[in-house]
Amino acid sequence: MSTPTKLFEPFKLGPITLANRFVMAPLTRNRAIPPSMVPNPLAIDYYGQRASAGLLVTEASQVSQQGQGYQDTPGIYSKEQVEAWRKVTDRVHERGGKIFIQIWHVGRVSHTALQPDGGKPVAPSAVRAKGKTFVGGTFTDISEPRALELSEIPGIIEDFRRGTANALAAGFDGVEIHGANGYLLDQFAKDGANKRNDLYGGAIPNRARLMLEVTAAVAGEAGAERTGIRISPVTPANDISDSNPQPLFEHIVDQLNALQLAYIHVIEGATGGPRDNAPFDYASLRKRFDGAYVANNGYDFELATKVLAEGAADLIAFGKPFISNPDLVERLKKGAPLNAWDKATFYGGDAKGYTDYPTLQAAVAAE
């Protein structure tokens, strides 16, 4: 490209050297194989094809059956899942890539059909989210949740710790905690979903407690230098909201900084939507955090170049462009046109719209 950019420069992320500053964002693809929820063998090619990104972050993978919110999302809680993920990490490493797994618990954003024994999804409070989940091949209303008992919370933290241990056994270079988009940790943090009056509700330190306890447990298992977390201060995704997000997330990031994490992965604005949906000072988070700042939401080459030049971020996450362009790094480096993505194949299905998007080299050879 004629425009100078830091995008293609290597970056030291803790003990890991990334080939460039591209992060492939976690992208839910709903192709795991039920009932064991092992990653589809196609995932080996899918991630392997995209190994030129500085860092790949996998689709969110539940730390327990209770943590599942959509059909056919992979898990990281069984031996079979670990073995299947190991084939993915081996392929990525063979191709010189680095890969973290994103681990999640969806909390209330689930359906009884996915829960153990058809039970209610769990949440900080029995407040039902308005919205849909993907079950039985269709979008259906989210089920009514129940509030987690205080006695159950240590088990949730342990699920995240065990998921981390499994991720390391599967050969991942690190772990990203999903603390964003209205899932369980975000539900506890934000007062629109959290109506508790115990240690985990009310004041900001209480609402932030579960996210921080989970992060400490994951960092204790993986090493803080191999731990990242995704946050989304003002997204309305999955009917989540907070009355005053700035002090909430400044507190959270101060505490994450004290843990010396590798990175924070920040969704700026509404997930997959406008970047300016609500006022928020992201620069304040950047200043408070000594590790890497991964910027996410609506980034293209021009915006990524500008933000990196200003020092407002260290790494840039690209989502949908990586779905349809396995060689996104090369295409942007050469100023080549990008493949358009096919929304109809985002969620569920087979190789179509998953592993069959052509690389630039293949497209030129076909001409």
Handedness of CA 247, 250, 254, 259 (dihedral sign): positive
Q: Please say whether the beta carbons of 61 and 76 come within 8 A.
A: yes
Q: Please say whether the beta carbons of 188 and 210 come within 8 A.
A: yes
The number of beta carbons lying within 10 Å of the beta carbon of residue 265 is 28
Catalytic member of 46, 70, 183, 200: 183
183 as an active site residue: the answer is: yes
CA distances to 97, 105, 295 from 53, rounded to whole Å, are: 7, 26, 15
- 218-239 in b/e form (b: 16+ CB < 10 A) is bbebbbbbbbbbbbbbbbbbbb
- 29-62 in b/e form (b: 16+ CB < 10 A) is bbbbeeeebbbbebbbbbbbbbbbbbbbbbbbbb
Alpha carbons 103 and 59: distance in angstroms, whole number: 8
| 110: alpha, beta or left? (left if phi > 0; alpha if psi -120 to 50) | beta
Handedness of CA 50, 54, 56, 57 (dihedral sign): negative
Kindly give the pairing relationship between strand 22-24 and strand 315-318. parallel
Q: Which two tokens stand for residue 166?
A: 């499994």
| 37: alpha, beta or left? (left if phi > 0; alpha if psi -120 to 50) | left
Q: Please say whether the beta carbons of 246 and 189 come within 8 A.
A: no
Q: What share of the chain is helix, strand, coil (3-state, %, to 5)?
A: 35, 15, 45
Q: Which amino acid is at 342?
A: D
Alpha carbons 158 and 209: distance in angstroms, whole number: 15
> What's the start-to-end Cα distance of the chain, in Å?
23
Residues with catalytic roles:
183
